[in-house]
Structure 1
């Protein structure tokens, strides 16, 4: 919001540039725990002549007090702040919300007027977002939507299944189209399904009178995934070596076998996936496991497709992807015959 109040009288003191002082606007990420400030930020706070914060409930204040930094609960306008710096004083301003925009707008106007001896202005980041920090925002937003949205609050794992499948297929389409903008959006939609299901899982199983031990959160999901990635990459996090993608796959499969303690190489293969993908997965597991089994023979196109899927898998081709690529060519041919443009 821009400050439309009348411009105050210009500062007319014979202050030199060195005497104009310094204003430090200290910013901090709300995604980083309060008190975890950078060393330059702590240096600026300790060396400042005054530290100002208009919000008495600011989350940084208890940590500043503990460190012996005196903070004044004051929200000066731009002109008063510039005037207070006269004589070479340094003032650190801790952001406090909407008032900061009025202050920065006012400082910009004063600096542009050419009629004021301006102090040095510095924007000092006190903390930075780490990679993945916006995921914290996603979790918070999902939590609020789950509580307050009439539709979202009524959803269940079972009711969301169809959306997970749809979003996965839309992601595949974006990848096959080479559409980077669509890829970014569809990855977000797939991520939403993960966060949505994890949020529902926090509430446990409906009907449980006591706290449900089977309840879990998105942090549990992420923690399990981190542990799995570390276990299955001993060549990265351990002493094992891997010189090729085949070595990595061998490590992965060996670790899975120990974890899952499966009776059959077919255990864990979802039977609900598309038929060609299912056939290729079964053939691949049998081949990798050295299971001496021949393909079943029978009449009908199903057995023919099974043989084609197994042959494609052995040749290193994903039959599902290959068929989709051919089907897209077929679709384009149909549209061309219809005279329909892209």
Structure 2
């Protein structure tokens, strides 16, 4: 006599109902009975449309449910959206601790999460928070009101990276990710020019594909330096930039802003503007550079100079000089 089989069919709510594996559909159509414990299970409508009529049973405690399913075998159990906590443990306990013949148990994945599937949960959470009946604070936020949080989260992420704290790194990456989803959800509500997180993701996919022709096209490169050079050329053509400094955000912290301007000029081998007219130590290491910057900050403070504002003003003058040397308006 053939041992009866109990099939536990697992699915995920992150995949559209009805999009099940072929083995799952075969099992559903051939099972003597299909049982479910939730009347509003997201898969039920799709199964009924395909001619499979699940029987909805009352779902008791995990141990009681395990005994019920074993008694019903041969049968297929459609796992509940919450995963039926404790069910597999209860089935295993019965199989190990109780004597006698027991039905064969097979766990059959009908659908499963692909990488990135949990991002759909974040979309749903943001939807709930911004919708009527959600969170009043979240509903009131704008792109402008969230700027300070975006900056704070970015700096907290930098700190986690510098300290090598992987647990905090994971948390701060989530906080930065939230900002992207939050701003995208706000943008989706704009009546004049709406866009969604899907548009944001689609744009960055297109950008990465376009700027990596050595991966997604037939361009050959010899190393990372050539890859970076190609990236900058494609970026300049894409943005139709006139100046080597176009695209450097003036909202960067002053020191980062100055460093970015210098980096752009150096990378373009632009020689139309002289370097800052100050002597530096012959050997400039990371330590001596840091001490030099600290000394400048100390002297500036002692003389009542806002070092951040002073550096930002100098960077703006540098930018204007470069644009003038390029034959462009200084702005």
Give me the TM-score of the superposition, normalised by structure 2: 0.76
Deviations 1:73-126 (A, max 9, x none): 3347443432333xxxx2001123569447656645643551553211222211
For 2:115 and 2:82, how far apart are their aligned partners in 1?
A: 27
Aligned residues: 284
User: Does structure 2 retain, via aligned residues, the 8 Å contact 1:22–1:120?
Assistant: yes
The worse-fitting range, judged by mean Cα deviation, of 46-55 and 98-107 is: 98-107
- The one of 188, 195, 203 equivalent to 2:189 is 203
User: Does structure 2 retain, via aligned residues, the 8 Å contact 1:24–1:93?
Assistant: yes
Change (3 A) 1:187 1:97: closer
For 1:278 and 1:197, how far apart are their aligned partners in 2?
A: 24
Q: How does 1:50-129 map onto structure 2 within 5 Å?
A: 50-75=33-58, 77-85=65-73, 90-97=74-81, 100-101=84-85, 107-108=91-92, 110-115=94-99, 117-129=101-113
Q: How does 1:306-321 map onto structure 2 within 5 Å?
A: none
For 2:53 and 2:101, how far apart are their aligned partners in 1?
A: 27
User: Does structure 1 retain, via aligned residues, the 8 Å contact 2:41–2:81?
Assistant: no
**Paired position in structure 2 for 1:223:** 202
For 2:239 and 2:83, how far apart are their aligned partners in 1?
A: 57
- Unpaired segments of 5 or more residues in structure 2? 60-64, 295-331
- The one of 92, 97, 120 equivalent to 1:136 is 120
Change (3 A) 1:279 1:83: closer
User: Does structure 2 retain, via aligned residues, the 8 Å contact 1:54–1:75?
Assistant: yes
- The one of 147, 162, 165 equivalent to 2:148 is 162
User: Does structure 1 retain, via aligned residues, the 8 Å contact 2:12–2:81?
Assistant: no
- The one of 219, 237, 241 equivalent to 1:240 is 219
User: Does structure 2 retain, via aligned residues, the 8 Å contact 1:110–1:116?
Assistant: no
Change (3 A) 1:246 1:55: same
Q: Any idea what SS the aligned residue of 2:136 has?
A: coil
For 1:33 and 1:24, how far apart are their aligned partners in 2?
A: 21
Change (3 A) 1:185 1:84: closer
Q: Any idea what SS the aligned residue of 1:151 has?
A: helix
**Paired position in structure 2 for 1:47:** 30
User: Does structure 1 retain, via aligned residues, the 8 Å contact 2:69–2:77?
Assistant: no
User: Does structure 1 retain, via aligned residues, the 8 Å contact 2:36–2:56?
Assistant: yes
For 1:223 and 1:98, how far apart are their aligned partners in 2?
A: 31
**Paired position in structure 2 for 1:31:** 14
For 1:33 and 1:234, how far apart are their aligned partners in 2?
A: 33
User: Does structure 2 retain, via aligned residues, the 8 Å contact 1:52–1:75?
Assistant: no
For 1:145 and 1:291, how far apart are their aligned partners in 2?
A: 50
Pairwise CA distance, 1:135: 0.6
**Paired position in structure 2 for 1:263:** 242
Change (3 A) 1:297 1:253: closer
Give me the TM-score of the superposition, normalised by structure 1: 0.74
Deviations 1:107-156 (A, max 9, x none): 45643551553211222211111101111111111121223112111111
Runs (4+) off by over 6 Å? none
Q: Any idea what SS the aligned residue of 2:9 has?
A: strand
- Unpaired segments of 5 or more residues in structure 1? 1-17, 205-210, 328-342
For 1:292 and 1:233, how far apart are their aligned partners in 2?
A: 29
Q: Any idea what SS the aligned residue of 1:287 has?
A: helix
